[in-house]
Amino acid sequence: MRVNFILFFAILFSVNGSGAAQETNCARRLFDFTPVSTNNPIVARIGGSLEIPVSEYLAYRKAEHLSTITNTLDLNQKKELLNGLIDQYLLVDEACRTGADQHPGFTSRMDYTRTIMLSDFLVAQEVEAKVKTADEYNQLLENLKNRLFDAATIDVSIGDYDKLKIAAREINATGASPSSSPKIRTLLENMSDSVLARYNGTAITVKQVLAIYAPLHAPRPPLESNDDLINLLKPLIVPELMAAEARRLGIESQPAFQNKLIENRNALLRIHMRGLIEAQANQELKAPGLDQRIQSWYQQNAEQYAVPATNGVKTIPTYAAIKKRLAGDYSVDLRDRIQAEKVRALRKAHPVEIIEAILKTS
């Protein structure tokens, strides 16, 4: 590895990945990427364009309804499960239609996800496939990381390195963690995003390094020598170097990688939609009159809280007796109702077709 200590202007180069994976007929898949075929027929269509094959339905059952795998289900039970999967497809599709996958926060998470995935695929191909023992794995992995790091050229700004050293001294002088030290928190908040180091078109800022350095347990490692800095930068840089090596080897274009990328993207979109529903529910929970709404809801659902009495007759507890439990149950039910309303609207806009003959035998 060659480290150049230079003076340069603070220009931050961000990592811009190639964006969302190219749309394919698997672009909304969540669990399985087996191609549609005579052995894997379509079991449902959404809006005439999105298709769900049997393999996706079965993978969904295994992933989120494992107990049903060993049970014999009738058609209505299978339809209930399939409709749950269809709901998730509709929500992910709506997230894409509304541009959630283009939001800077989302694309940033996807850039990070892509980097980690490329590193993982590289390790699987270049390390796991070539070893038999844990010791061999660890040694070959370390050799790979060192080879890539040693071949990299890292440009370090002398001026910004001086800023880092001064800030590190101030942090260490407090002998505290950021969570318990207002001085450290203020230092981190006020630190500029000036670039400390660049490599392969990627930049690391002083603020990024301090955000990692400050939470370390005292005594923190020194940051006074070039070797000290290299030891701190190496864990930050190696994942990007491994991702670059994976691209060089063509891993990024492999179907298995692309499918895994789509799976991760859609998982993040599911989380995004759950977040929107959660936020809407929280708004309602904060609105005036919550106690009255919970009481009204309890009156409609009181039977499910009935408990056996000593004479064998069920009794229904008072609202005050189980108020805390009811508040939790109401909030869960509220989120479920908001999602159900959202899905109903989406189903009107994108009609769903279930092929019952296929589902019956699946």
Q: What is the pLDDT along the chain (362 residues), one digit of tens a residue?
A: 555 655 543 333 333 333 333 334 689 999 999 999 999 999 999 998 899 999 999 999 999 999 998 888 999 999 999 999 999 999 999 999 999 999 999 999 999 999 999 999 999 999 999 999 999 999 999 999 999 999 998 899 999 999 889 888 888 887 666 666 787 888 888 887 889 998 887 889 998 888 888 888 878 888 888 888 888 888 889 999 999 999 999 999 999 999 999 999 999 999 999 999 999 999 999 999 999 999 999 999 999 999 887 777 788 999 999 999 999 999 999 999 999 999 999 999 999 999 999 999 99
* pLDDT score at 350: 95
Residue 125: give the domain boundaries: 116-253
3-state secondary structure the chain: CEEEEECCCCCCCCCCCCCCCCCCCCCCCCCCCCCCECCECEEEEECCCEEEEHHHHHHHHHHHCHHHCCCCCCHHHHHHHHHHHHHHHHHHHHHHHCCHHHCHHHHHHHHHHHHHHHHHHHHHHHCHHHCCCHHHHHHHHHHHHHHHHHHCEEEEEHHHHHHHHHHHHHHHHHCCCCCCCHHHHHHHHHCCCCEEEEECCEEEEHHHHHHHHCCCCCCCCCCCCHHHHHHHHHHHHHHHHHHHHHHHCCHHHCHHHHHHHHHHHHHHHHHHHHHHHHHHHHHHHHCCCHHHHHHHHHHHHHHHHCEECCCCCEECCCCHHHHHHHHHHHHHHHHHHHHHHHHHHHHHHCCEEECHHHHHCC
Is 306 inside any structural domain?
no
* pLDDT score at 353: 96
Is 311 inside any structural domain?
no
* pLDDT score at 70: 86
- Total number of domains constituting the chain: 1
pTM of the predicted structure, to 2 decimals: 0.80
Is 353 inside any structural domain?
no
Is 267 inside any structural domain?
no
* pLDDT score at 11: 33
